[in-house]
Amino acid sequence: MRVSGWGTRAVCAVAGAVLLVGCREAPPDAADRTAAVASPVRPTGYGAVFLDVGECSSFGRTTFTEVSCASERAAARVVARHDGTVRDGPLCPPATDFVLHISEQWPAADEDGDGMVPLGHACMRHLQPPHPGDPGGGGGPRTVVGDCVYALADGRVRETACDGSGPREPEFKVTKAVDARSECPASTALYVRLRGTAPVGCAVPV
């Protein structure tokens, strides 16, 4: 992202979450629970909405299924569920680890002929650590206060773990979120655009 652009890793995390084909899972007694395109009126077996808030998904980003949160296959829980795209919809909670983009087959409403209509996205948090969406964790769809970044050659920055466990060492840390650059402290060496009520991140060298 550009120094004043989106929150680095936020973009990478969202871009890294490949557009997934959403599904409604078969009833609990069915043998096959693999993800598949299905009618938008079929129930999931765990609720009327596929991956509703509080429900869990199995492991995987390109192939996944909704499972009981008590299942040993459960990997992440939905902390928020929104219609539309990530860019157009409400923000995911700051502690979101990754985003699943959910689509569903609905030919009657298809406008571009690809047989798919996007339903929305689910903001997910791992059931077990590590949590890349936590401040300093090095990932997640949002850059927040406490996150660290490093600069790219083209003027963008990218998020990385503050403890140095990521692929790149941290160079700057976002210490404050404000409304305008003029409100950043004098020690600020980098401005990072954040999404939220305070859109400017003040970052200092680490």
> Average of pLDDT values for 63-85?
89
More confident site: 160 or 40: 160
Reply yes or no on whether the pLDDT at 12 is more than 50: no
Q: What is the pLDDT of residue 138?
A: 93
Q: What are phi and psi of 58, to 5 degrees?
A: -80, 180
The pTM is what?
A: 0.66
Quickly state the pLDDT bin for 46 (edges 50, 70, 90). low
| Range 67-95 average pLDDT | 88
With H, G, I as helix, E, B as strand and everything else as coil, classify residue 88. coil
C-alpha 204 chain-centroid distance? 25
Using one digit for the tens of pLDDT, what is the confidence trace for 122-172?
999 999 999 999 999 998 888 999 999 999 888 789 999 999 998 899 999
Between CA 81 and CA 84 the distance in angstroms is 10
Average pLDDT for the chain? 75
Q: For residue 34, what pLDDT band results from cuts at 50, 70 and 90?
A: very low
pLDDT of 47: 57
> Residue 104 has what pLDDT?
57
Distance CA 20, CA 102 (A): 6
- Signed CA dihedral, 126, 171, 198, 185: sign only: positive
Q: What does the pLDDT look like over 98-129, one tens digit per residue? A: 998 887 544 343 334 444 445 788 999 999 99
